[in-house]
Amino acid sequence: MNIGIIGAAGRVGSRLTEQALAREAVVRGLCLASDRPQVRHPRFSLVAGDARNVEHVRQTIAGKDFVVLAVGSRCIDSPHTLHTESVRATVAAMRQADVRRLVAILGSGILDHHTGLPLGCVQRLNTPTAWLEDYLAAYEFLTTVDDVDWTLICPVLMSDHSPRGHYRVSANRLPEGGRHIEAGDVADFILKELESRQFDRQRVGIAY
Ligand SMILES: NC(=O)c1ccc[n+]([C@@H]2O[C@H](COP(=O)([O-])OP(=O)(O)OC[C@H]3O[C@@H](n4cnc5c(N)ncnc54)[C@H](OP(=O)(O)O)[C@@H]3O)[C@@H](O)[C@H]2O)c1
């Protein structure tokens, strides 16, 4: 497996890097210059850059088979266009580099609720409005893209303790009653989904 990970120092990104390397993958990670991962491994290389910059993303994914977009911001006051801009830059870079498979992480707010509204419009407390708008705009952009095979992973509330190794996934909806997931289990599912393409062009809810 040959993967470019955009946001490799984040909670999911670092778990993903660790698990991919343990499964013999070759990984190139993009991280903000201020945010270097601690990984030292002969099959890991690093690009310091910005996920919103097409050239930085292209350098990260050139020659790769798979791309994972795992950026996020822990700062509630940061600009709420990160996901829209980074998804657009990633798709543009994938076209330039002729890479076709993308798995990106957004939030459970874009999943379907039985009322027909996005889940995040019903459960506003879990997804601040500006973040939800950014997630929805990124998703809507991807629905217009037909030359990239994409899957959107939509975790419910996430923490970063030991992964459990078992979880539920559901196409376009949150698994019934799901409230929580560990970043390491999200990473495990992403690695499986990259190759299996079980949820091609779909959103996937993931929770215990
Ligand atoms: N936490 C939750 O409960 C939860 C639930 C559902 C979905 N999500 C979503 O899941 C995704 C991954 O979550 P996470 O907790 O792994 O994210 P994270 O750790 O908050 O962020 C991921 C990484 O992206 C980096 N980053 C931010 N802006 C960037 C940029 N412009 N260019 C390059 N890298 C950039 C961050 O650096 P800095 O730390 O320096 O900003 C961080 O290392 C996010 O989209 C998040 O919104 C989170």
pLDDT of residue 34: 67
Is the pLDDT score of 54 beyond 70? Answer: yes
The percentage of residues in the chain with a pLDDT greater than 70, rounded to a whole number, is: 94
pLDDT of residue 35: 66
Domain residue limits, the chain: 2-207
Helices (H), the chain: 11-22, 54-61, 82-97, 119-122, 129-143, 183-196
Atom 24 of ligand 1: nearest residue by CA position: 71
CATH architecture designation of domain 2-207: 3-Layer(aba) Sandwich (3.40)
Judged on CB neighbours under 10 Å (0-12, 13-18, 19+), 201 is middle
pLDDT averaged over every residue in the chain: 93
pLDDT of residue 18: 96
pTM of the model: 0.95
To test the pocket of ligand 1, the residue of 71, 111, 182, 189 to mutate (highest count of ligand atoms within 8 Å of its CB) is 71
pLDDT of residue 124: 61
pLDDT of residue 128: 64
Q: Which tokens hold the place of 9?
A: 């120092």
Is the pLDDT score of 118 beyond 90? Answer: no
Q: How far is the CA of 71 from the centre of ligand 1 (A)?
A: 4
90-100 pLDDT, tens digit each: 999 999 999 99
